Amino acid sequence: MRQVVWGVLLAGVFGMSLAFTPKGPECIAPAGAGGGWDFTCRAVTQVMFDLKLTPQPFKVTNLTGGGGGVAYANVVSQRGDDANLIVAASPATTVRLAQGQFSRFSERDVRWLGAVAADFGVVAVKADAPWKTMQELVAAWKADPSKIAVGGGSAVGGQDHMKVLLLGRAAGLEPRSVKYVPFDGGGQAITSLLGGFIQIFAGDASEVRGQLEAGTVRVLAILAPRRLPAPYANVPTAKETGYNVEWVVWRGFYVPKNMPADAYDYWLGTLRQVEKSESWAKIREQNSLGQFFMIGAQFQVYIDRQVNDFRNLSKELGLIK
């Protein structure tokens, strides 16, 4: 009886399907704690529960490995019809798909749900690093690339690595000279930066904001089309510093390919309500996220196009043949 009442409430208030109510909803973050996927899972699902869009809190599972490949394989091979599962995704996912890094799987082996925010790439160093500007950093980088280790929360060839290669190319560096260190998520990469094991963190604005506000890192450039609000208001875009590189990171989800239609419609409805809510607008502001909302069929078309674009860019950068 309780499920029926809940379904009627959701249908009446939010226009969702009566046929499906989640039981034990789960969100998989395909990397460790502290990175973008982990943030996406925890922030969005908390808003869903707070808005009473789900009858129960979500279980958040950090399923690490392979730049998201372990989680992808698990969903495709073992949970292909799970109605209660959503999985955090970003261009890091589509980059690896474009490069054929998820084993035999393709972008059509899951169903793409939607995106609810835009994050932006950053170039960050420790607060006590000797470089105060992007130009100073690039000068040192070009003088001796072997002394500058750049870390990111993706595997070699992944999203953060591609940011680094694009920046290096814009700065006139030979791609093979760029020393990239992969980590399993942005949280690990930031810890390594603070520990002095890498000199640059090529991550995202939402990942490093807390450290920026705490005064432990300095952000030298934002890979965005325009400057971001505080605390990034005084940080120039990469283009302003002379390096025409942008990297926009959509934050969103995919679901199992054979998820029942009523469940898929239900999750589409929850994303619509999250995006409209004041709670989500506040979270976006608190984490320096821009607006980016796309769901359902439109999002699937966008994913297909992005995978193709990243395949071409990966060839251009020498990451695949």
210 C-beta neighbours (distance < 10 Å), count: 14
Here the CATH number for the domain that contains residue 207 is 3.40.190.10
Residuewise pLDDT in 10s, the chain (321 residues): 444 444 444 544 444 545 789 999 999 999 888 888 999 999 999 999 999 999 999 999 999 988 899 999 999 999 999 999 999 999 999 999 999 998 889 999 999 999 999 999 999 999 999 999 999 999 999 999 999 999 998 888 888 999 999 999 999 998 889 999 999 888 899 999 999 999 999 999 988 999 999 999 999 999 999 999 999 999 999 999 999 999 999 999 999 999 999 999 999 999 999 999 999 999 999 999 999 999 999 999 999 999 999 999 999 888 988
Structural domain containing residue 298: 2-117+249-316
Last residue of a domain, one of 172, 207, 223: 223
**Domain annotation covers residue 232:** no
Q: Tell me, yes or no, whether 190 lies in a domain.
A: yes
**For residues 84 and 23, what is the distance between their CA atoms, to the nearest angstrom?**
7
* 209 found inside a domain: yes
For the chain, strand residue ranges (E) read 26-29, 59-62, 85-89, 110-126, 149-152, 179-182, 200-201, 217-223, 248-256, 294-295
DSSP string, 236-279: PBTTTTT-----EEEEEEEEETT--HHHHHHHHHHHHHHHHSHH
Whether residue 211 is found in the same domain as residue 298: no
Are residue 62 and residue 76 in the same domain, yes or no? yes
Where is the domain boundary, 207, 223, 239? 223
Based on the domain organization, do 111 and 255 belong to the same domain? yes
Do 109 and 127 share a domain, yes or no?
A: no
Do 127 and 198 share a domain, yes or no?
yes
Residues 63 and 161 in one domain: no
In a domain, 12, yes or no: yes
Structure tokens at 293: 């909302």
- What's the total number of domains in the chain? 2
> Domain check: are 14 and 112 in the same one?
yes
Question: What value does the CA radius of gyration of the chain take, rounded to a whole number of Å?
Answer: 20
159 and 133 co-located in one domain: yes
* Location of structure tokens 């989800």: 253
279 lies in some domain: yes
Q: Which of 110, 55, 58 is nearest to 80 (CA)?
A: 110
